[in-house]
Amino acid sequence: MATQESGRRGTGTSPGRRAVLGAAVLGAGAAAMGAPGVARAGERHGHGHGGHRDLPVPTVVAHRGASGYRPEHTIGSYQLALDMGAHVIEQDVVPTKDGHLVCRHENDITGTTDVAAHPEFAGRKTTKTVDGAKLTGWFTEDFTLAELKTLRAKERIPGTRQHNTLYDGRWQVPTLEEVFRWAEKEGRRRGKRVWLHIETKHPTYFRKLGLGLEEPLAKLLRRYDRHHRNSPNFLQSFEPSSIQRLHKLVGAPGVVLLSSASSRPWDFVEAGDPRTVADLVTPKGLSWIASYAKGIGPTLDLVIPKGPDGKLQKPTTLVRDAHAKGLLLHPYTMRNENTFLPADFKKGTDPNAYGDAFGAFKAYFATGIDGIFSDNPDTALLAAADFAGH
């Protein structure tokens, strides 16, 4: 993947012209949050043949819900994201001991629930190796759903997001089925489908435990009529074999997540496949992904690398190369706080204060990406509206 000249960004089609921000999407949400007038008709997204063609571009994916403002992966976080007008709401899923899919970023629930304060579960604390990493804590696969439901979610990064701790203890860990029911109810109320972006977490690890994720996920998708190619959900994973498996089970579009260039997907490690992410972002690697997926979810650094000073450099050719294979790009993750922003967009010295997030969004949108994961969907929507108004 070569670094792209700044004058030749995108796919040959101006990102500005490709941008679509429909009145139906922003009218009730971002407009109410103060977005400028963006209700203009535009060109629809052209990749693939699924319902995702109808999504606005750039598509705002609420990362773990509106996790910049509420404890992640709670109904409260999802609800706020939807109320803000986010186009798609993300769920990460892991299984319980009895095979239910629940929404957590990882199976280690030490940092995002109050499990440590439950003396009845003190004996469940253990040390495991998950995808090569040794972890000590409490794990979803050691709890039945009934047991997990006695816990309450809490803020993951209270030092950075003290305000979010106001909501600690307010919500349970939701099951994916509860989220589907919530989406159905909200969809009826709003008269439009609620889009979800569902990620299988540690799928090879769980399959080895007899807790394969893809089959129960496909079953649930079918039960809620979300298994078609035009159904309002994306299915994502850092492990390509999980997306390949899902591709055989359901029609919903798959997105292969890509971590740093030097990393190897854990299923590759287990299978002895020597390829790294650097191999997957070559035209050959992207062609391979396009044979079973509709998109990629690269880390933002694969789209615009940072230099040794932490500042953004020239965009790579990844957007152009992926689009050439018919793949959409949903990079991750934009967050408003200085600590997460590229050095050129930090403001002041407080790492937890907000920096120039709009400046960073603008730089990323200018590359021609199709969407973005953000903990701050309201900011992302305003930035997308600014971009569409160019």
CB of 201 to ligand G3P, least distance (A): 7
Place of tokens 């709401």: 89
Nearer to ligand G3P, 62 or 383 (CB): 62
Nearer to ligand G3P, 155 or 199 (CB): 199
Entry field: residues in the chain: 390
Exposed/middle/buried for residue 91 (C-beta within 10 Å: 0-12, 13-18, 19+): buried
Nearer to ligand G3P, 236 or 317 (CB): 236
Q: Which of residues 83-112 bind Ca ion (CB under 5 A)?
A: 92
CB of 83 to ligand G3P, least distance (A): 21
Nearer to Ca ion, 72 or 155 (CB): 72
State the amino acid at position 220 in one-letter form.
Answer: L
Pick from 45, 63, 104, 152 the residue near ligand G3P by CB under 6 A: 63
Q: Which of residues 185-224 bind ligand G3P (CB under 6 A)?
A: 199
59 binds ligand G3P (CB under 6 A): no
Q: How far apart are CA 135 and CA 139, in angstroms?
A: 10
Q: How far apart are CA 386 and CA 390, in angstroms?
A: 7
Strand-strand pairing, 133-137 and 126-130: antiparallel
Nearer to ligand G3P, 92 or 378 (CB): 92
CA 274 to chain centre: 26
CB of 107 to ligand G3P, least distance (A): 13
Q: Which of residues 145-174 bind Ca ion (CB under 5 A)?
A: none
CB of 43 to ligand G3P, least distance (A): 26
Buried b (16+ CB within 10 A) or exposed e, 231-265: bbbbbbbbbbbbbbbbbebbebbbbbbbbebeebb
CB of 380 to ligand G3P, least distance (A): 14
The residue count for binding Ca ion (CB under 5 A) is 2
Which partner in Ca ion, ligand G3P, none is near 297 (CB below 5 to 8 A by kind)? ligand G3P
Which partner in Ca ion, ligand G3P, none is near 333 (CB below 5 to 8 A by kind)? ligand G3P
Pick from 72, 106, 108, 199 the residue near Ca ion by CB under 5 A: 199
* Site string (295-324) toward ligand G3P, x via CB under 6 A: --x---------------------------
Nearer to Ca ion, 82 or 89 (CB): 89
Task: Output phi, psi for 58, to 5 deg.
Answer: -70, 135
Q: Which residue is closest to ligand G3P by CB?
A: 332
Nearer to ligand G3P, 38 or 268 (CB): 268
DSSP H/E element including 32: none
Q: Who's near 284: CB < 8 A, 6+ residues apart?
A: none
Nearer to Ca ion, 91 or 317 (CB): 91
Closest CA to 47 of 386, 368, 389: 368
Pick from 25, 246, 257, 322 the residue near ligand G3P by CB under 6 A: 257
Within 10 angstroms of residue 10's Cβ, the number of other Cβ atoms is 19
Within 10 angstroms of residue 147's Cβ, the number of other Cβ atoms is 18
Strands (E), 13-148: 59-62, 88-95, 101-103, 126-130, 133-137
CB of 90 to ligand G3P, least distance (A): 6
108 binds ligand G3P (CB under 6 A): no
Q: Which residue is closest to Ca ion by CB?
A: 199
Nearer to ligand G3P, 20 or 62 (CB): 62
333 binds ligand G3P (CB under 6 A): yes
Answer whether 173's CB lies under 8 Å from 147's CB: no
Q: How far apart are CA 280 and CA 103, in angstroms?
A: 28
Distances (CA, A) of 72 to 141, 174, 246, 282, 373: 20, 11, 25, 33, 13
Can you give the binding site for ligand G3P, defined by CB under 6 A? Answer: 63, 92, 105, 199, 236, 257, 297, 332-333, 373
